[in-house]
Amino acid sequence: MSQSTPFGAVEFAANPEPRCPCVLVLDCSASMAGQRLQELQKGLAQFREELLGDPLARKRVEVAVVTFGGSVKLACDFTTIEHFEPPRLQAEGLTPMGSAIATSLELLTARKQVYRGNGVSYYRPWVFMLTDGEPNDDWHAAIHLVRDVENSKQAAVFAVGVGEANFEVLRQIAVRQPLQLRGLMFREMFQWLSNSLKSVSHSATSEEVPLANPSGPEGWAKV
Amino acid sequence: MATDHWAALAAAVAGSRKGTRGCDDAVAVEQWRHGRSVWLIAACGDGAGSASAGAVGSQVAVAAAVAACREALESRSQRTARRDRGLDGAAVVQAAKQAVVAAAQARELPVRELATTLTCLVAGPGWTWIVQVGDGAAALWPQRARPGAWQIALWPARGEYANSTHFLSDDRVQWSERTMARAGAVALLTDGLLPLGLDLARQQAFSPFFEGLSAELRRAQPQQLLVHLQAFLASPRVAERTDDDVSLILAVRKSPGPRKATGHGDGHAAA
């Protein structure tokens, strides 16, 4: 053998990692003030830690945070977990949920274009919305937007209600069964979300990634 | 009479994330001789991680595809053999699918539980033919191209998302085929290696990857290299870029003619 380690000098293409985008759409209206928002804030920090500990997920999962309380704000634009700093959440105002959903879906469309333009492959994006109330803006357009993206598999949209959230409305908006958070189990919810995103970001050629059922006896949700 | 032959290497290694779960990829390679000519027949498949018997699916599919190619070569008449430019893609895909369906029935499983991709290549004296289902890839260096100018035969067929592709088990199998020039070297890879061997932004082969691999095979005996290829595929260098199963078939044509003073004396080693 002419070399001590055959294949030791093989070069690899310098490709970017495939991306797994996730938009967190968080209700920061006045009713979230106090313990709810504190627990949500802690959950968000834990979400970051969980994904940071996974060498592939930290490079592949991209998070954006849209808040709705008084107005809709882009609290954090898409960034990989490595660079994600959970924004400081503040509760104020009413609940413009309809426009928060529209903003989130626009954000995703733009992000996909960035991926395509840079030859980056990606997984089906997730929109994860959390609310403790009901929309006070025109949310009927959101029904069609969500239905369109779900039917065309452009994104998976999850809705989670906390406390007195209006499930009548959530059921109309989300194609998937909305979930009701047990108590303030935000940490468990974010643990589930990070585990699910880890599974997706590690998947290679599987059509559907099976998710753990969050509404099992030990889960964080009720349906 | 001295003839061409191929030096070939094939390995499939379980991905780093899978722990005790085995490898769902499968590889098969053989050489078929006729008169003074030799054909390389190679196939690789990637059993879907979401399917319970993906490993069975990929093994059955690659074995059936290689057999179907060999039988197609054997059954050609002298006359058609001179004119043809590749094999019948529909027939090879059909043979592989039938084998997967039969294996599913024998196990009383739905066919989708044996979901697998398939990339199959036949490299003859005059042409190279590739048929593909899903997101594997075949790369080749046409012998008349400048050294190192590798080409991807068919771009891996993916849906919009990184984790969606077509499978042999789909109701309507989506496949494509292509006939290319006589190859001096070929490589088949499953999707785990795509981030390493393909320049995704430019949609072309990353030639240094394939050239680095095939250069070793030109120098040394395949038997001696196999263990090194397996070690390479399982190495942290590869694992840090992908945690999927990785498989690779690599073959270089070794022509007779003036033996170069390589000092190895391996100019006529058969695979």
What are the residue ranges spanned by the domains of chain B? 5-15+22-254
Kindly state the percentage of chain B with pLDDT values over 90: 69
Mean pLDDT of B34-63: 92
Residue A97 has pLDDT above 70, yes or no: yes
Measured between CB atoms, does B244 come within 8 Å of chain A?
A: yes
Distance CA B30, CA B11 (A): 13
Residue B236 in contact with partner chain A when CB distance is under 8 A:
no
CB nearest to B206's CB, from A9, A13, A16: A13
Please indicate if any CB of chain B lies within 8 Å of the CB of A152. Answer: no
Residue B267's pLDDT is what? 37
- Cβ burial B190-203 (10 Å sphere, 16+ → b, else e): bbbbbbbbbbbeee
* Shortest alpha-carbon distance between residue A55 and chain B (Å): 8
Cβ–Cβ of A7/B198 closer than 8 Å? no
pLDDT digits (tens, 9 = 90+) for A179-218: 999 888 888 888 888 888 888 877 654 445 667 888 877 7
Mean pLDDT of chain B: 88
With an 8 Å Cβ cutoff, is A35 touching chain B? no
Asked if B17's CB is within 8 angstroms of A204's CB, the reply is no
Q: How far apart are CA A159 and CA A145, in angstroms?
A: 14
Note the CATH architecture for domain A20-177+184-203+214-222.
3-Layer(aba) Sandwich (3.40)
Q: Which of A149, A205, A207, A209 to mutate to test the interface with B (most CBs of B within 10 A)?
A: A205
- The superfamily in CATH containing domain B5-15+22-254 is PPM-type phosphatase domain (3.60.40.10)
pLDDT at site A205: 42
Chain B residues with CB under 8 Å of A209 CB are 50, 163
Q: Does A218 touch chain B (CB under 8 A)?
A: no
| Contact with chain A for residue B216, Cβ under 8 A | yes
Q: How confident is the model at residue B202 (pLDDT cuts 50, 70, 90)?
A: confident
Does the pLDDT at position B123 exceed 90?
A: yes
pLDDT in the model for residue A59: 87
Q: Name the residue type at position A111.
A: R
Residue B95 Cα, gap to closest chain A Cα (Å) = 23
Q: Is the pLDDT of residue B269 over 70?
A: no
Query: Considering only CB atoms, which chain A residues are within 8 Å of B195?
Result: 12-13, 15, 17
* Distance separating alpha carbons of residues A194 and B18, to the nearest angstrom: 19
Answer whether A106's CB lies under 8 Å from A77's CB: no
Residues 6+ apart with CB under 8 A from A79: A62, A63, A64
Q: What separation in angstroms does the CA of A179 have from each of A40, A171, A194? A: 16, 9, 17
Which pLDDT score is estimated for B268?
Answer: 40
Partners of B228 on chain A (C-beta within 8 Å) are 5-7
Contact across the interface for A10 and B264, Cβ inside 8 Å: no
- Which of B13, B161, B224, B226 is best to mutate for the A interface (most A CBs within 10 A)? B161
User: Which SS3 state, helix, strand or coil, does residue B180 take?
Assistant: strand
Residue A125 to residue A123: CA distance in whole angstroms: 6
Mean pLDDT across chain A, nearest whole number? 89
ipTM metric: 0.76
Q: How far apart are the first and last CA of chain A?
A: 64
Considering only the beta carbons, identify the residue of B163, B209, B224 that sits closest to A1. Answer: B224
Q: Cα(B2)–Cα(B15) distance, rounded to whole angstroms?
A: 41
Q: What is the pLDDT of residues A35-63, one digit of tens each?
A: 999 999 999 999 999 899 888 888 889 99
Residues of chain B found within 8 Å of residue A3, distances taken between Cβ atoms: 216
**Domain residue extents for chain A:** 20-177+184-203+214-222
Residue of B nearest to A207 (CA): B164
Query: Is-contact A221 A178, C-beta < 8 A?
Result: no
* Count of residues making up chain B: 271
